[in-house]
């Protein structure tokens, strides 16, 4: 019997791809029982590595991908952003992926499988930092995919130009975060390069207590998560990756102008804006300028959030490992 092959495309940023992992694994499991082989074509295929029921993963940019592979099977492109459940129903991105592939409006947790080598290397790295610095380790991601562009103001002071979704931390807020936690934690910052490859970084002269973590292999960044003492981030790759690993450490997500309803996880501590967010649709025709205007200032975060996070982490009551 000749088995049918399917090729499921999932593009976009790392976070969006992670959202699809558990859903596609479940879909592939069901199809395998029917004699159908499921492959994945993705902008970040490494996020699917180790998932038991997925046959192969391919990079979207692979030469002759269609001619040599896809042409022999069925090409499927689930697009949750332009589905009404996402843009009008306030459904989680995971639920919409599941609805499009499995026909069920149900949440299936994202799933990331790390190898033993990835885990042991990450653990050794974090333990060495704790030994050298005699502090705990905090992992942060202050900028979304288009955030972190640093420009001087009229006085020559460095300022972060906000991404237009207003989800990224401003540099002033980031300074306050660093001041709040630097005595008890080594602060490792996942830069925007890990999410979008735009090359923007926080200048070390401006934030000397932050250690940027940049690696072309995003799995090495993800592997650090189980071994740090806490995560603080905006809507970014990091909170999706924490969920994909089962949230092994306390994860605090500070939401600005993007949708917590569509993208947050119940197991995280989510700080949402007091003012209403005007949810901008993705990949659906709309007036972008309208949403930029309405959401301006949503990432002017309340500094009380940092006090609450510090209280929950209890840095003075736990011994440094």
Q: Are 253 and 271 in contact (CB under 8 A)?
A: yes
- Rg for the chain (alpha carbons), in Å? 20
Q: Which residue has the tokens 């074509």?
A: 41
pLDDT score for 216: 73
What's the confidence (pLDDT) of residue 203? Answer: 53
pLDDT of residue 207: 62
Beta-strand pair 149-152/57-59: unpaired
At 190, the pLDDT band (50, 70, 90 cuts) reads: confident
Burial bucket for residue 110 (CB in 10 Å: 0-12, 13-18, 19+): buried
Is the CB of residue 48 less than 8 Å from the CB of residue 78?
no
Please say if the pLDDT value at position 119 is more than 90.
yes
pLDDT interval class at 316 (50, 70, 90): low
Q: How far apart are CA 289 and CA 274, in angstroms?
A: 22
pTM over 0.85: yes
Which two three-digit tokens encode residue 4? Answer: 């049918």
Phi and psi for 180 in degrees, rounded to 5?
A: -70, -35
pLDDT attached to residue 321: 44
Residue 318, pLDDT > 60, answer no
Count of CB atoms situated within 10 Å of the CB of 14:
23
């Amino acid at each position: 019997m000749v088995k049918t092959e399917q090729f499921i495309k999932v593009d976009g940023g790392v976070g969006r791809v992670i959202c699809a992992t558990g859903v596609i694994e479940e879909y592939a499991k069901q199809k395998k029982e029917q004699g159908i082989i499921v492959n994945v074509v993705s902008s970040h295929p490494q996020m699917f590595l180790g998932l038991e029921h997925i046959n192969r993963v391919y990079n979207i940019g692979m030469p002759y991908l269609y001619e040599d592979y896809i042409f022999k099977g069925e090409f499927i492109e689930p697009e949750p952003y332009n589905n009404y459940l996402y843009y009008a129903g306030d459904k989680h991105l995971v639920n919409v992926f599941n609805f499009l592939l499995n026909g069920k409006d149900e949440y299936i947790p994202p799933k990331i499988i790390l190898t033993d080598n990835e885990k042991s290397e990450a653990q050794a790295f974090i333990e060495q930092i704790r030994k050298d610095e005699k502090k705990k380790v905090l992992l942060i991601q202050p900028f979304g995919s288009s955030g972190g562009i640093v420009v001087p103001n009229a006085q020559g002071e460095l300022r972060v130009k906000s991404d237009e979704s207003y989800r990224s931390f401003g540099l002033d807020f980031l300074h306050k975060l660093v001041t709040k936690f630097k005595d008890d934690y080594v602060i490792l910052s996942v830069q925007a390069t890990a999410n979008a490859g735009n090359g923007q970084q926080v200048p070390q002269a401006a934030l000397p207590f932050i250690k940027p973590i940049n690696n072309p292999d995003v799995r090495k960044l993800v592997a650090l998560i189980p071994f740090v003492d806490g995560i603080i981030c905006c809507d970014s790759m990091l909170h999706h990756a924490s969920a994909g690993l089962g949230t092994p450490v306390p994860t605090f997500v500070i939401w600005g102008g993007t949708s917590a309803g569509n993208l947050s996880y119940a197991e995280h501590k989510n700080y949402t804006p007091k003012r209403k967010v005007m949810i901008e649709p993705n990949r659906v025709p709309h007036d972008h300028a309208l949403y930029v205007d309405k959401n301006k200032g949503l990432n002017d975060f309340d500094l009380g959030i940092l006090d609450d996070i510090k209280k929950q982490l209890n840095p003075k009551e736990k011994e440094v490992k």
